[in-house]
Each structure stands twice: as C-alpha cells, then as structure tokens.
Amino acid sequence: MNHLQGKTIVVTGVSSGIGSDTAKLLRQQGAHVIGVDRKDPLLSLDGFVKADLSEQAAIDAALRQLPAHIDGLANVAGVPGTASLDLVARVNYLGLRHLAQKVAERMPAGGSIVNISSILGYEWPARADLHKALAETPSFEAGLAWLARNPVPHETCYQYFKEALIVWTLTQSQKLFLAQGVRMNCVAPGPVFTPILGDFVQMLGHKRVEADTHRMKRPAFTDEVAAAIVFMLGDDARWISGINLPVDGGMSSTYV
C-alpha cells in the first residue's frame, strides 16, 4: 500500500510518455492529480494547467492556478538534447528548479518532490564544482546569467543539465527535509520507449547506441519508470531523501 489516497500531486509532462503513465498510476492509487504540460492531455485528470515551462513568467502564471496545498510534485517534463541549448537549460533545469522551489513552499511535512534525471547524468562528479556553483544561484534569472558566464557545449548540454539537476537535488534535499520535512529525490531512467527515443539516438549517435546495446535487455516501458516515481512520491518512501535512483534495468551497473 503506497498511502496516496487523497493526496494532491502535480505532474509535469503529463500529456505523454512517463508523465502520462505516472498520472494514471497515481489516480489508480487514489491521488488527486493536476497535470501541467504545454500540450493538451489525452487522459482523465483532476485538473490541468497549460504552461510553457521554459519561461519564468509562464511558470509563475501556472503557479497561480495550482492549489495552495500540494502533497507531491513529479517533475517529468523535459526536452531532448536535439533541442536548442537555451531550451534544454530552461526546461530541464532552470524552470524545473523554479517550479520545485515554489511548490515546496505549499507542501506540508511528508511532501515529496521527484525530479527526473537520467543515467546520462552519471558523470556529474567530474563537474561537481561547476554544478554546485550553478545550484547556488538563487533564481531563474541568476541561473541564466551564470550560464552566460560559463557556457555549455550544445553537443553535451543534455548530459550537463541532467548532471546539474542531480547535484542540485543532492545538495538542496537535506536542507528542505530538515526545515520542512519535505523529501526531494531523483529518478534516473535509462533508455525508455517514448516518442522522443529517436531524438536520443540522434543526440548520442548510432555508434554510441550500438556500443551500449549489450548493456541492457531493452529500453524501459514508460509504466516501469512511472512505478518508481509513484513509490518515491508516497509515504512508503518516507525515509528516502536526497538520492538519485537508477531505473535502467541494471544498465548503470555495467559501467563499474
């Protein structure tokens, strides 16, 4: 039993893939789910806010439409590395962070935030100091200014911002847990059968993809990742905070 009955959970990226399956599973377990996406949803929800998560003003407008009491947030929305560098930075890191910080203010003790990272962020220790410096920027605009002074190569920007998200989650989670009793964790999928799987093949290149094929049985199904997210949102995970949980069929273990 995951003890989600009656909880209010916000799920971004709700209109497709992992976000859609997360919302379905949450509602099956009795949660009230409010979706956020730039595309209209094709599933039943308890509420929906249409928003572009690449702009602070749009996020702030969405926040005004969200409830005053929120028990959980699943930050599933994201764009692939084939998008522009600016968009990857804004959606996958700066906008996600801004939304999480503001939603956390509405959470009671026992609340949970789950950020979707990636196994492509596993090299974060190599750039830990940079990621910690970015994590300490206090706002969306300050983060943009920091990135202007510390440019990121486009070809590896997806990996960079997934690394940065892991480091932000790890460095900020305990402060949040001690102050408010709100947990924050990452779930790190490996390859997943989603509409943007082809974008990842294009981003990484066929040579890299072929080299990694032997490391896994197959890409994950979206509901397999959703199940981990839902567990981390629920009370059964009440003493898990500040981790980056791989959900990759064991793929990350093969790099040891």
pLDDT digits (tens, 9 = 90+) for 11-23: 999 999 999 999 9
Place of tokens 């379905």: 24
The number of domains in the chain is 1
**Which range of residues forms the domain containing residue 127?**
8-245
With a CB cutoff of 8 Å and minimum separation 6, the contacts of 198 are: none
Kindly list the distances between the CA atom of residue 153 and the CA atoms of 11, 78, 118, 172, 211, in Å, as whole numbers in the listed order: 30, 18, 18, 26, 23
Place of tokens 């009230």: 32
- Rounded to an integer, the average pLDDT of 54-64 is 98
Of 93, 122, 158, 160, the active-site residue reads: 158
Using DSSP, state whether 28 is helix, strand or coil: helix
Q: Is the pLDDT of residue 199 over 90?
A: no
In this prediction, residue 255 carries a pLDDT of 86
How far apart, in whole angstroms, are the C-alpha atoms of residue 134 and residue 96? 14
Nearest to 185 by CA among 226, 229, 241, 131: 241
Which of these ranges, 111-120, 146-155, 187-196, has the smallest mean pLDDT?
187-196
Write out the two tokens for 122: 């596993």
Q: Is the pLDDT of residue 1 over 60?
A: no
- Rounded to an integer, the average pLDDT of 207-221 is 83
Write out the two tokens for 237: 């995970």
Q: Is residue 253 part of a domain?
A: no
Q: Is residue 252 part of a domain?
A: no
Q: Is the pLDDT of residue 51 over 60?
A: yes
Q: Is residue 62 part of a domain?
A: yes
Tens of pLDDT along 72-110? 999 999 999 999 999 999 999 999 999 999 999 999 999
In this prediction, residue 48 carries a pLDDT of 98
Q: Is residue 228 part of a domain?
A: yes
Here the CATH number for the domain that contains residue 20 is 3.40.50.720
In this prediction, residue 207 carries a pLDDT of 72
Using a pLDDT cut of 70, give the percent of the chain over it: 94
Q: Is residue 2 part of a domain?
A: no
Q: Is residue 3 part of a domain?
A: no
Q: What is the mean pLDDT of the chain?
A: 94
Q: Is the pLDDT of residue 172 over 60?
A: yes
Write out the two tokens for 43: 């599933």
- The alpha carbon of 108 is separated from its chain's Cα centroid by a whole number of angstroms, namely 20
Amino acid at 42: L
- Rounded to an integer, the average pLDDT of 137-144 is 98
In this prediction, residue 89 carries a pLDDT of 98
| H-run or E-run covering 34 | strand 32-37
Q: Is residue 256 part of a domain?
A: no
pTM of the model: 0.94
With a CB cutoff of 8 Å and minimum separation 6, the contacts of 166 are: 117, 121, 124, 131, 186, 188, 244
In this prediction, residue 201 carries a pLDDT of 65
User: pLDDT-derived band of residue 213, with 50, 70 and 90 as boundaries?
Assistant: confident
- Rounded to an integer, the average pLDDT of 167-196 is 94
- Rounded to an integer, the average pLDDT of 57-85 is 97
User: pLDDT-derived band of residue 2, with 50, 70 and 90 as boundaries?
Assistant: low
Nearest to 168 by CA among 104, 93, 225: 93
How far apart, in whole angstroms, are the C-alpha atoms of residue 35 and residue 55? 18
CB 79 within 8 A of CB 92: yes
What is the total residue count of the chain? 256
User: pLDDT-derived band of residue 123, with 50, 70 and 90 as boundaries?
Assistant: very high
Q: Is 122 a catalytic residue?
A: no
Q: Is residue 34 part of a domain?
A: yes
CB 56 within 8 A of CB 140: yes
